[in-house]
Amino acid sequence: MPASEFQLIERHFARLGAARADVLLGVGDDCALLQVPADRQLAVSIDTLVEGTHFFPGVDPESLGHKALAVNLSDLAAMGAEPAWVTLALTLPRVDEPWLAGFCRGFARLAARHQVQLVGGDTTRGPLSISVQVHGFVEPGRALRRDQAQAGDQVYVTGSLGDAGLALLAAGGGYDAGDRLAALQQQLDWPQPRISVGQALRPLCRCAIDISDGLLADLGHICEKSHLGATLRQAALPLSEAVADYVRATGDWSIPLAAGDDYELCLVVPAEHQAEVGRIARTLDVPLTLIGQMEPGAGIRCIDAAGNPVSDLQGGYDHFRNT
Ligand code: ADP
Ligand code: MG
C-alpha cells in the first residue's frame, strides 16, 4: 500500500469517535480486537450508501459522514442496543483531503455523541460508496425484535413522519415548500438516531423497527414477522407543520405514511404499560406518539377520526407490500 494511504488512514481514521476501554486494538493492525461484556449479546448491522442512489452527487461531505453513521445507529436503536464500535469501508474516486476531513468531521461528531469508536475499515478507489458496520450491546434475550408483537399491543412512533420524503419531493421540484424547505432538508440530511428512545423503552417493550423505508412498509414487516395486522389512526399521526400543510393542500397521505428516510422508531408496547410509556416519554428529547394498535389478522388499516377505514390508503399499502 502506498505511504500516502497509510498517512491518510493515520490522519483521518486512526482516532475517530470515542476512546473506549473495550477496544484492545483499534485501527492499524490486520484486525481490531474488541472485548464484548460477558453479560451482553453483540448486535451487528451494516448499511451502504452509494452516490446517485442514496445521496445526491456533490452533497455536503459533513452531512454525508453524519448520515452514513446515523442510518446504522438507527438500526441499533431499533434493537434497543447500546452502540459501541463501528467499521468504515470507503470507496473514493480520488483522494480529496478537504472532502475527507469534512466527511470525518460529521462522522466523528455523531460517533462521539453516542460513545462509538471507529475500530477499522478499508479504503479503496472507485465510484463513491460508503459502507458502515455498527456493533452494539444488548442484554441477552432483550433485543427489540420484529417478530415479538402481540395482538392488543400499542404502536408508537418517534418524531414526525414524512419530513425527509417531502424534502426529497421538494428537491425534485415536485412541491414548493417555501420557507419550510430548510427545516425539511435538515431532517433529510441530518437524521438523529433515536438511541435513547430504544434504550428507555426496552424494559417495557419487545418489538421495534426503524422506519427508514416508510411507516407502512416497516410496520408491515412487524405485521408479517409477528403474524398480525395493525390499525393506525390517521388523525393521530405526528406531522410537522410543513407535512400537515402538504397533506391539507394535496390530500396525499403517502408522504407521511410511505415515504422513506425518516429514521424514526416505531415501537410496539403492551397496552398495560401505557401510563409508564407516557411517563418515560416526558423525559425523552423527542416526541413519542401513540398512533394505533396491533390486532389479529394481516395488513395495516388506517381509520379516520370517525373510525371509518380510509379506503385509498389500502391500495397504497398493498402496492407497497408487493414490492
Ligand atoms: P489490510 O491490508 O490488512 O486490509 P489496510 O491497509 O486496508 O489493512 O488498513 C490498515 C489499517 O487501517 C487496518 O487496521 C484497517 O482497519 C484501517 N483502515 C483502513 N481504512 C480505514 C477506514 N476507512 N476507516 C477506518 N479504518 C481503516
Ligand atoms: Mg484493507
CA torsion sign for 216, 217, 220, 222 is: negative
Ligand nearest to the CA of 89: 1
pLDDT of residue 323: 36
pLDDT of residue 322: 37
CA of 49 to the centre of ligand 2 (A): 19
Per-residue pLDDT of the chain (323 residues; tens, 9 = 90+): 444 788 889 999 999 999 999 999 999 999 999 999 999 999 999 999 999 999 999 999 999 999 999 999 999 999 999 999 999 999 999 999 999 999 999 999 999 999 999 999 999 999 999 999 999 999 999 999 999 999 999 999 999 999 999 999 999 899 999 999 999 999 999 999 999 999 999 999 999 999 999 999 999 999 999 999 999 999 999 999 999 999 999 999 999 999 999 999 999 999 999 999 999 999 999 999 999 999 999 999 999 989 999 976 533 333 334 33
Q: And the C-alpha cell for 288?
A: 413519542
Rounded Cα distance, 191 and 264, in Å: 9
CA of 183 to the centre of ligand 2 (A): 39
Rounded Cα distance, 308 and 301, in Å: 10
Which residue from 237, 234, 260 is spatially nearest to 169, judged by alpha carbons?
A: 260
Q: And the C-alpha cell for 87?
A: 467499521
CA of 4 to the centre of ligand 1 (A): 13
- Residues 166/243, Cβ–Cβ less than 8 Å: yes
pLDDT of residue 153: 98
* Bridge partners of residue 15, in order along the sequence: none
DSSP structural state of residue 134: E
Which residue from 86, 101, 59 is spatially nearest to 188, judged by alpha carbons?
A: 59
Rounded Cα distance, 209 and 218, in Å: 7
pLDDT of residue 312: 60
The pairing of beta strand 82-92 with beta strand 117-125: parallel
The pairing of beta strand 41-50 with beta strand 229-233: unpaired
pLDDT of residue 4: 75
CA of 40 to the centre of ligand 2 (A): 29
pLDDT of residue 319: 34
Which residue from 263, 280, 251 is spatially nearest to 187, judged by alpha carbons?
A: 263
Distances (CA, A) of 26 to 31, 32, 138, 267: 8, 5, 22, 34
Per DSSP, the three-state class of 92 is strand
Separation of first and last alpha carbons in the chain: 43
C-alpha atoms less than 13 angstroms from C-alpha of 52 in its C-beta half-sphere: 3
pLDDT of residue 1: 45
Rounded Cα distance, 286 and 290, in Å: 13
CA torsion sign for 241, 244, 249, 252 is: positive
- Residues 45/60, Cβ–Cβ less than 8 Å: no
Ligand nearest to the CA of 23: 1
Please report the atom of ligand 1 found closest to the CA of residue 31: 14
pLDDT of residue 160: 97
Ligand 1 site residues, Cβ closer than 6 angstroms: 1, 9, 13, 27-30, 88, 90, 118, 120-123
Nearest residue by C-alpha to atom 21 in ligand 1: 121
